[in-house]
């Protein structure tokens, strides 16, 4: 079974260490996973997408 857990912005901030404004700036540049709309006023991210993004950043650092 794949990980389909949805996490909200405070958890994304905690996991990544990024600020809210940094996350949304990266999204606008296409450099961060886009959130999933959960309802009219709620959205979140697939935890696996955030983990994959972190892994890709680590690989980019390792290759630099």
What are the domain boundaries of the chain? 6-63
- Which H or E element spans position 46? strand 42-46
pTM: 0.86
- CA distance linking residue 14 with residue 27, whole number of Å: 17
Q: What is the pLDDT of residues 3-55, one digit of tens each?
A: 689 999 999 999 999 999 999 999 999 999 999 999 999 999 999 999 999 99
Place 1 in a pLDDT band, splitting at 50, 70 and 90. Answer: very low
């Amino acid at each position: 079974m794949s990980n389909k857990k949805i996490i909200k912005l405070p958890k994304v901030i905690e996991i990544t260490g990024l600020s809210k404004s940094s996350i949304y700036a990266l999204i606008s540049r296409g450099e961060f996973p886009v959130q999933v709309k959960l309802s009219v006023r709620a959205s979140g991210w697939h935890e696996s997408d955030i983990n994959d993004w972190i892994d890709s950043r680590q690989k980019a650092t390792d290759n630099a």
